[in-house]
Amino acid sequence: MQPQPREPSDVTLPLVAIVGPTATGKTALAVALAARLAGESGCAAVSADSRQIYRGMDIATAKPTAQERALLPHHLLDVVAPDEPYTLAHYQADATAAIAGIHARGRLPLLVGGTGLYVRAVVDGLAIPRVPPSPVLRAELEAELAAHGLPALQARLAALDPAATGQIDINNPRRLIRALEVCLLSGKPLSEQRGTRPTPYRTLLLGLTIERGALYARADARIDAMLAAGLVAETEHLVAAGYAWDLPAMSSLGYREIGAYLRGETTLAAAIKRFKLATHGYIRRQLTWLRPDTRITWLDAARPTEPLAEQAEALVHQLLRGSAQAPA
C-alpha cells in the first residue's frame, strides 16, 4: 500500500484511524482513548475488520467485549449473517454513513481495525470497480485454484494486470479471484479501475507495533484464550446452524483450523498449532500492507495502555486543532 498524501486544504472533519496487526491492542487503545476524551466531544468507534461484520462469529474474530462496547459505542459489528455477501463497496458505504452519523452527533469517530483495504476504502475514498460477481466465472476460478493452487492464479493475474499484483493481497484466494473476475469481465486491468477520490476527512493514522517475536507470543496467548472461551463450541454452533464449511466467512482464521479438527481431518493440538502459524503469517501480511504508508504515526504497543492512550490523546488534540482551523 503506497497511498499518496492529499493536500488537506479542503478537509474539515476529523477522523482517527487506529490500525496495526492483530493482537497489538487496537480495541484496548480505542477504549482508553475514548475515556480520556469523554469530557470533550466523546467518541464512537467504527470497526475496520472484515470478519467482525459476521453475526455469531465472536471469539476467533476477537470482537470487542460487551464491557468494551458499553464504554465505547461500536458500529459495523454483526452486520450480516455468515452466509450473506458483503463487499468492499458495501463496507465503504456503511462506514461512511456511520462516520457521518458520529460527526452529526458531535462525536469523534475512531476507525479501528486491521483490515488494510477497509481502512483505505474510508480514509482514501477508494474507487471500487462496479463489476457484479459472476457465479459461473468464480466457480471456474475456484476449480482452477483447487486443481493448480495459488501460483497458477497469481501468474494469470500477473499476465493480465502486473500492477494489481502489488496492490492486493495475492495470497488471499478471495481477493485474487475477485481481481481476476474484474479483469476478465470488464476487459480492463483492475489497477486502471482503482484510484482514490476526495474525502471530507482530516485523518490521524495511529499504528500499533511491537517486536515481532513478542507479537507472535501475544497472538499465541490470545488464541489459547479463545480456546478457553469456547471457540470449538462456537464453531460447532455455526455448523449446526447450517453454515457450510466452504463459505468465505467459515474460511476465517480459527474457524478454518477448528473446522478441520471437527471434520476429523486433524487433532485438536495440530489444529491449534496450525491456527497459530497461520496467524503469524497474517500478521506478516498486515505489516507488509501497512508499513509503506508514511502517514502512519507508529506507537509502541509494548507500553501499558494508559501511557499509550495519553500519547495518542496528545496527537488527537493536534488533529482537532488543525480541523478547527480548516476552512468550511
Query: Do residues 229 and 37 make contact, with C-beta atoms less than 8 angstroms apart?
Result: no
Domains detected in the chain = 13-128+195-325 (3.40.50.300), 135-193 (1.10.20.140)
DSSP 25: -
**7: Cβ contacts below 8 Å, ≥ 6 apart:** none
Give me the pLDDT at residue 146, please.
87
Average predicted confidence (pLDDT) for the chain: 91
- Please give the average per-residue pLDDT across 245-260, as a whole number: 96
Give me the pLDDT at residue 228, please.
98
Provide the strand spans (E) within the chain.
Answer: 13-19, 43-47, 74-75, 108-112, 126-127, 195-196, 201-209, 297-300
The highest-confidence range among 49-53, 135-139, 153-157, by mean pLDDT, is: 49-53
Give me the pLDDT at residue 191, please.
78
Q: What would the pLDDT profile of 287-320 be if each residue is shown by its tens digit?
A: 998 999 999 999 999 999 999 999 999 999 999 9
Q: What would the pLDDT profile of 188-201 be if each residue is shown by its tens digit?
A: 888 777 777 889 99
Give me the pLDDT at residue 111, please.
98
Within 10 A of 25 (CB to CB), how many other CB atoms are there? Answer: 20
Per the rule left: phi > 0, alpha: psi between -120 and 50, beta: everything else, 239 is alpha
**202: Cβ contacts below 8 Å, ≥ 6 apart:** 8, 11, 12, 13, 14, 15, 319, 322, 323, 326
Q: How confident is the model at residue 132 (pLDDT cuts 50, 70, 90)?
A: confident
- Please give the average per-residue pLDDT across 207-234, as a whole number: 98
Q: What would the pLDDT profile of 7-31 be if each residue is shown by its tens digit?
A: 444 448 999 999 999 999 999 999 9
Q: Coil, strand, or helix at residue 146?
A: helix
Q: How confident is the model at residue 130 (pLDDT cuts 50, 70, 90)?
A: confident
- The CA distance from 2 to 309, in Å, is 27
Provide Rg for the chain, Cα atoms: 20
Give me the pLDDT at residue 321, please.
87
Could you give the percent of the chain with pLDDT greater than 70?
Answer: 95
Instruction: Tell me the CB-side half-sphere exposure of residue 37, using CA atoms within 13 A.
Output: 27
Within 10 A of 67 (CB to CB), how many other CB atoms are there? Answer: 9
What predicted TM-score, i.e. pTM, was given to this entire model? Answer: 0.84
